[in-house]
Amino acid sequence: MRAFVITGPNAAQAGEVDPPVARPGEVVVDVERVGICGTDVEFYAGTMAYLHTGEAEYPLRIGHEWCGTVAALGEGVDPAWLGRRVTGDTMLGCGRCARCTSGRQHLCADRHEIGIRFAWPGALAEQMPVPASALLALPDTVGPEAGALVEPGGNALRAVRSAALAPGERLLVMGAGTIGLLVAMFARAAGADVHLFGRSARSLAFARTLGFDHVWSKETLPTATFHAVIDASNAVDLPALALDLVEPGRRVVCIGLAGEPSLVDTRSIALRDLTVVGVLSASGGLAGAIDAYASGAVDPRPLVAATVGLEAVASALAGARGPGWSAAPKIHVDPRR
């Protein structure tokens, strides 16, 4: 089968690889659609932290935002999965340790992460192996675009839940990329008064096309505090700003990752009685994201700028964009195209 393989920093191609075989407890999925995201860009550029800690190494098969159809079953898998459209959890805990058995399998020290950690092959391929325990069925109302946006949506939904807002309260979302915009969409669906802070005029203009009117740059940001701030940016200085902008006693949620350490003054956290929450992964948010897409409460499809084939992935990871593409932040891949 064909798959996208990164062989080193800024070196990758689509080519033939051995197809996966469903081991006991696993299925093989025919991949329908895959999103590429910032983590994938970092793997291609060679800057992803796991490349330096030994949790990932080249050659690398990436892709963790996906949907597809179950094509083969390993021993012990419920036959009802065969032929179902599915997506799944990126995080694959060992299932035996204290974290796994207490509902924190996404933090298992020995976890595989699909397309990311400890060489579990990713979704940028015609087929991929997935443990049946990580699968979630997709209703017919969730098409290929939304199906491949369940994983980022689950991350965004967990961030919104972590902000602990009541309807009508003011939320500031920092960062107007895919996660920031999904956070804004899920928060709007929950009744929050959503404000977006971004750096590029292009991304802010795009946010307005999604119906967000409270869109701010550093120069125009209101001085009033917010009932919660969610940092979905990759800017090194924004976590510290988030602590200054949140209402005392409330929450700052960190889901964005900067390329260098983001320093904050913990005196602000103590003296303003703040709760700072980190979010890693969509685990626990996946089912809610599927429900929101299926009901129409959130429609993530405008976030997709274009859908390309495996041949175009390397140039997309390098930042190239096609002439007819919209300003939307997400690029999708159809590996069978």
Please state, as a whole number, how many other Cβ atoms lie within 10 Å of the Cβ of residue 264: 18
Q: Which pair of tokens denotes residue 230?
A: 């969610």
Comparing CB distances to Zn ion, the nearer of 113 and 169 is 113
Where does this chain touch Zn ion (CB under 5 A) — which range of 31-39, 171-179, 196-204, 260-268?
A: 31-39
Comparing CB distances to Zn ion, the nearer of 36 and 245 is 36
Tell which positions 196-235 bind Zn ion, by CB under 5 A: none
Where does this chain touch Zn ion (CB under 5 A) — which range of 68-76, 93-101, 196-204, 240-248?
A: 93-101
CB 286 within 8 A of CB 264: no
**Interacting residues of 25 by C-beta distance below 8 A, sequence separation 6+:** 74, 75, 76, 77, 131, 132, 133
Q: Beta strands of 38-178 (E only): which ranges? A: 65-73, 85-88, 91-92, 112-113, 127-131, 135-137, 170-174
Residue 34 as a binder of Zn ion (CB under 5 A): the answer is no
Comparing CB distances to Zn ion, the nearer of 37 and 274 is 37
Task: Find the shortest distance in angstroms from Cβ 238 to Zn ion.
Answer: 19
Residue 94 as a binder of Zn ion (CB under 5 A): the answer is yes
Where does this chain touch Zn ion (CB under 5 A) — which range of 88-96, 245-253, 280-288, 307-315?
A: 88-96
Place of tokens 């897409």: 293
Task: Find the shortest distance in angstroms from Cβ 130 to Zn ion.
Answer: 16
Residue 37 as a binder of Zn ion (CB under 5 A): the answer is yes
Tell which positions 97-116 bind Zn ion, by CB under 5 A: 97, 100, 108
> Binding-site residue total for Zn ion (CB under 5 A)?
6
Comparing CB distances to Zn ion, the nearer of 37 and 123 is 37
The single residue among 63, 88, 93, 285 that binds Zn ion, judged by CB under 5 A, is 93
Comparing CB distances to Zn ion, the nearer of 37 and 60 is 37
Comparing CB distances to Zn ion, the nearer of 22 and 108 is 108
C-alpha–C-alpha distance, residues 307 and 181, integer Å: 19
Over the window 228 to 267, marking each residue x when it contacts Zn ion by CB under 5 A and - when it does not, the resulting string is ----------------------------------------
Q: Beta strands of the chain (E only): which ranges? A: 2-8, 11-16, 26-36, 65-73, 85-88, 91-92, 112-113, 127-131, 135-137, 170-174, 193-197, 215-216, 226-231, 246-254, 275-278, 304-308, 330-333
Please state, as a whole number, how many other Cβ atoms lie within 10 Å of the Cβ of residue 36: 24
SS (HEC) of 26-40: EEEEEEEEEEECHHH
Helix (H) or strand (E) holding 266: helix 266-271
Comparing CB distances to Zn ion, the nearer of 108 and 264 is 108
Comparing CB distances to Zn ion, the nearer of 152 and 215 is 152
Task: Find the shortest distance in angstroms from Cβ 160 to Zn ion.
Answer: 17
Task: Find the shortest distance in angstroms from Cβ 72 to Zn ion.
Answer: 26
Task: Find the shortest distance in angstroms from Cβ 139 to Zn ion.
Answer: 22
Residue 86 as a binder of Zn ion (CB under 5 A): the answer is no
Length of the chain as a residue count: 337
Comparing CB distances to Zn ion, the nearer of 136 and 240 is 136
Angstrom distances, CA of residue 184 to CA of 65, 108, 246, 269, 285: 19, 29, 17, 24, 15
Helix (H) or strand (E) holding 151: helix 150-163
CB 69 within 8 A of CB 28: no
Task: Find the shortest distance in angstroms from Cβ 71 to Zn ion.
Answer: 24
Q: If DSSP codes are grouped into helix, strand and coil, which group holds residue 130?
A: strand
The residues of the shown chain that bind Zn ion, judged by CB under 5 A, are: 37, 93-94, 97, 100, 108
